[in-house]
Chain A
């Protein structure tokens, strides 16, 4: 198997890693870069637990070949907080009990951020559609949706 040298920016830091050509970006982030926030649920693009922003676009990192990341700008859940100050979405998820086991949470947070970056004032229906690519088997979704709506209000109030 051929190996590729990848240079990219992850969460604001310049990062280099060496990956197998057939490796997924998900595996590279976890095994080569050490970012464990991205989770593998299905490995086939159905569950969204491995969601990242690549050049600002929401993506499943399991469907991206690691060499494709060369030259890109990536954001994972590790890059959402500002130092010790949680992102409003993270704070609202905590306060709204929008997680139980937590496996899906990083993906939901990234997908919700992608939504609010584009649409700061989504309706409940828009939130539900925007999060349709993320599966949660614990919460029943309602607390997640309410937490995203609450975070949207808080973000709008601080801007």
Chain B
């Protein structure tokens, strides 16, 4: 295996295009364990961390641009970013230990395509966009469309993720992400739930987005829960409808982390709590 550290997107693109067995990496927190587990080494390991654009966190006024390799500790450590997108920042901060936080990235979390990736549901509810570089320049697609199944993405040969764009929430809008693990730290989600809600001045919900992780091959949006919330206040009735819709939208597996029945029930509970937390953040002016 050869190591390469290009300093521009174009240079990385030409390295990747010239060799079908080359692979880009950011923090290598998934790549190294996968190689250790016996997956073939890439011919060239292309380190994206020397490309300034891929390590940036840019405040564009109305949106944030997050370099695909930017460490998640740079997101959680940025007060303005975390204030705008508290749910996404929290989800990013759940990935591994402090050691891992200095290497893990939203780009890696997305492109590794684990169904249990914590940051992906939080990106999906915020309508995040993925900017992908390829031979013909860059294309921008919804983050929700990147992962096509466990370990697989829609990125073609020679393509790699450059950055993620997220609009700042409009007024009276906030997000939240919650996950269930059987301990307090350092584990992989059994269920994850993200919500973004918009409330009007009288507390009625005018927009809602809900997405679940770890309960299906890819992140699941829950349109029935979103419909149940919009048009009224956050009430026991609407929250019960959210929980029922989230449980129904799951397509989980039985494994050592949890059974199908358990995941379905927890998905409902977490979806409800994520909505409540996002609504509380709106009422507290985005804080908390």
- Which residues in A have some Cβ–Cβ distance to B below 8 Å? 1-2, 4, 21-22, 24, 43-46, 48, 51, 54, 57-60, 62-65, 67-68, 111, 114-115, 129-130, 132-134
Contact = CB atoms under 8 A, between A and B. Distances in A.
B256 interface: no
Nearest to B100: A45
Contact of B41 (A22, A24, A132): A22
Given A43-B36, A45-B32, A62-B32, A67 B5 contact: yes
A65 B186 contact: no
A129 B97 CA distance: 8
A44 B97 CA distance: 12
B97 A59 contact: no
Contacts of B35: 22
Contacts of A111: 98-99
Contact of A21 (B1, B27, B36): B1
B182 to A, nearest CB: 15
Interface of B: 1-3, 5, 27-29, 32-33, 35-36, 41, 45, 47, 49, 71, 73, 96-100, 102-103, 185-186
A89 to B, nearest CB: 16
Contact of B32 (A2, A63, A129): A63
Given A44-B36, A59-B102, A59-B103, A65 B47 contact: yes
B45 A65 contact: yes
B186 A133 contact: yes
Given A45-B29, A65-B28, A130 B98 contact: yes
21 contacts: A2-B1, A2-B2, A2-B3, A21-B1, A43-B36, A45-B29, A45-B100, A57-B73, A57-B102, A58-B98, A60-B103, A62-B32, A63-B32, A67-B3, A67-B5, A68-B5, A68-B47, A68-B49, A111-B99, A132-B186, A133-B98
Nearest to A60: B99
Nearest to B49: A68
B28 A48 contact: no
Contacts of B103: 59-60, 63-64
A138 to B, nearest CB: 18
Nearest to A61: B99
Contacts of A115: 98
Nearest to A4: B3
Given A63-B28, A63-B32, A64-B28, A48 B5 contact: no
B185 A129 contact: yes
Given A21-B2, A65-B28, A132-B186, A51 B99 contact: yes
Contacts, number: 83
Nearest to A57: B102
A44 B38 CA distance: 13
A61 B3 CA distance: 16
B98 A114 contact: yes
Q: Which 6 A-B pairs have the closest CB atoms?
A: A133-B97, A21-B3, A44-B33, A22-B1, A132-B185, A67-B3
A74 to B, nearest CB: 13
Contacts of B49: 68
Given A59-B99, A59-B103, A133-B97, A65 B33 contact: no
Contact of A133 (B33, B36, B100): B100
Contacts of A62: 32
A45 B96 CA distance: 9
A29 to B, nearest CB: 15
A1 B3 contact: no
Nearest to A132: B185
Contacts of A129: 185
Nearest to B2: A2
B45 A60 contact: no
A65 B47 CA distance: 9
B99 A48 contact: yes
A135 B228 CA distance: 45
A135 to B, nearest CB: 9
Contacts of A22: 1, 3, 35, 41, 45
Contact of A24 (B32, B185, B186): B32
